[in-house]
Amino acid sequence: MKIEFTQDKISIEDKVISALDRFVLDFIRLLEKYTDYVIVSGYVPILFGRSRGTEDIDVLVKRFDETVFIRFYDSLIKKGYYFLNPEDVHGLYEMLGEGLGIRAAKKDTIIPNVELKFVKNDYDDFSVDKKVKVVLGDKKYLFISPIELEIPYKLYLGSDKDIEDAVYLWDIFKDKIDLTVLNRFMKKLNVSGVEHGIGI
């Protein structure tokens, strides 16, 4: 794997774009016109080669007004998306405000879908404020949560799949990421990667 890694940008040249990457990039091109966003969780290790699929892509967005959400909603519908949730546009915005996720997919499909949530804690804020741009080639880019937070968060979530994701990200990025930041989040989330050699 050849990647160029800086604190706020990762470039992967010559990546073969999968159907999932295309789905995410298409959705993100619409979303970014309305708000700051960051992709977190399962799609992050997949973006860097993990050999698994996912049903949903978790996206955190900064809080924005309902009028902005209505414009975003309209643009999604025009481009052939729909929300899996039965609520109308006002109900969907209300769900976001209550800290719930809302799911959008291409018309007549359910998988893959994007689960959209407002940021709701310090970790989410850090993810958006310190987001990392991933460049996949000409005009193909997206923003992800810092790897230094993704690894501890995956360990915190704690399922077998999450731990495997954390181990994979560590194996790929261990000689590139900021270990001080990683270990700070390990402590904050009260998790340890010692068993898997993470953070050592």
Partner 1 sequence: MELVFDRETNRRERLWFVHYYASWVRKVPNHVWSREQAKLIDSLVLNARNFNLSPEEYLKMKENGSQVRRKR
Q: Strand pairing of 37-40 and 9-12? A: unpaired
Please say which residue, 6 or 18, places its beta carbon nearer to partner 1. 18
CB of 91 to partner 1, least distance (A): 13
Contact 115/103 with Cβ under 8 angstroms?
yes
Phi, psi of 192 (to 5 degrees): -130, 140
Sign of the dihedral defined by the CA atoms of residues 121, 125, 127, 128, in that order: positive
Please say which residue, 67 or 86, places its beta carbon nearer to partner 1. 86
Please say which residue, 72 or 83, places its beta carbon nearer to partner 1. 83
CB of 179 to partner 1, least distance (A): 18
Q: How far is residue 178's CA from residue 61's CA, in Å, rounded to a whole number? A: 25
Q: How far is residue 150's CA from residue 152's CA, in Å, rounded to a whole number? A: 6
Please say which residue, 1 or 67, places its beta carbon nearer to partner 1. 1
Please say which residue, 138 or 160, places its beta carbon nearer to partner 1. 160
Burial of 184 (0-12, 13-18, 19+ CB in 10 A): middle
CB of 67 to partner 1, least distance (A): 26
- How many other C-beta atoms lie within 10 A of the C-beta of residue 183? 16
CB of 21 to partner 1, least distance (A): 8
CB of 164 to partner 1, least distance (A): 5
Tell me which residues touch partner 1 (CB under 8 A): 1-3, 12-20, 23, 40-41, 46, 48-53, 55-56, 58, 60, 84-86, 103, 109-112, 117, 123-124, 153, 156-160, 163-164, 167-168, 171-172, 196
